[in-house]
Amino acid sequence: MTSSSDDTSPVSASTANNSDTSHHRAVRSYVLRAGRMTQAQSRGLEEVFPRLGLTLDQGRLDLDDVFGRKARRVVEIGFGMGGSLLEQARSQPEVDFIGIEVHPPGVGKLLDELDKAGLTNVRVFREDAIKVLDDSLPENSVSLLQLFFPDPWPKKKHHKRRIVQAEFVQRVARVIEQGGKLHMATDWEAYAEYMVEVMEQQQALFENTASSGSYVARPESRPLTKFEARGERLGHGVWDLMYRRR
């Protein structure tokens, strides 16, 4: 579930709390939805995933080996139906992208479209992002980590489900290289303010790159979704946050 209704808006594919034990289930920041798979989505999972998919079973990855080259690496957590990630990969062939998403229709759709477009600079995890951060991505291996429109869980009793927590930021810091960036965006002002509060508590790890205030203008690297464009016409706000790894 995302904060917007656009089918290109990402779904946050991570747990918000990793204190899972044999007696307690981890608090998750996503809800798995049941839904029909189209023929193209099924094709993506069945035919393309074996070539462009990644799994936790592969252990800690050598990204140069995965992509067959040295390049700048960008990770997007919760890519939803994959529209943003597909556009970025198409416009930046010199960059390698890793997408993380738990929902099969979105994973299948992105893989099918990547294959039809002949793009080879994207790899996809159909996994919990926390596990990918902990077990799969090497330290200091990512230039940019993107979290666009995660579920805001607006009710106070559900705030513990929000992916942006201190533990999440610390995990992200491990994989982002020095000088690399964490880019977050939300269309819920209260969640944007909450993100700022969390990041202010992690100033030893990240510094805000905003020249004034807490937010930055939408970078060209973040494609404008149909939902966002429609919201702009109606006067709805979107808040972008950009932090640099110290």
206: buried, middle or exposed (CB in 10 Å: 19+, 13-18, 0-12)? buried
Query: Which residues have CB under 8 Å from 45's CB, separation 6+?
Result: 37, 104, 107, 108, 111
User: Is 151 labeled as catalytic in the residue annotation?
Assistant: yes
In angstroms, the first-to-last Cα distance of the chain is 32
Per the CB < 8 A criterion, the answer to whether 188 and 154 are in contact is: yes
Strands (E), the chain: 53-54, 72-77, 95-100, 122-125, 142-148, 176-186, 206-208, 239-245
**Cβ-contact 32, 103 below 8 angstroms:** yes
- CA–CA separation, 212 and 17 (whole Å): 32
Q: How far apart are CA 76 and CA 128, in angstroms?
A: 12
Alpha-carbon separation of residue 148 from 9, 63, 152, 199 (angstroms): 7, 23, 11, 16
Characterize the bridge pairing of strands 142-148 and 176-186: parallel
The active-site residue, picked from 112, 151, 187, 240, is 151
Catalytic residues: 151
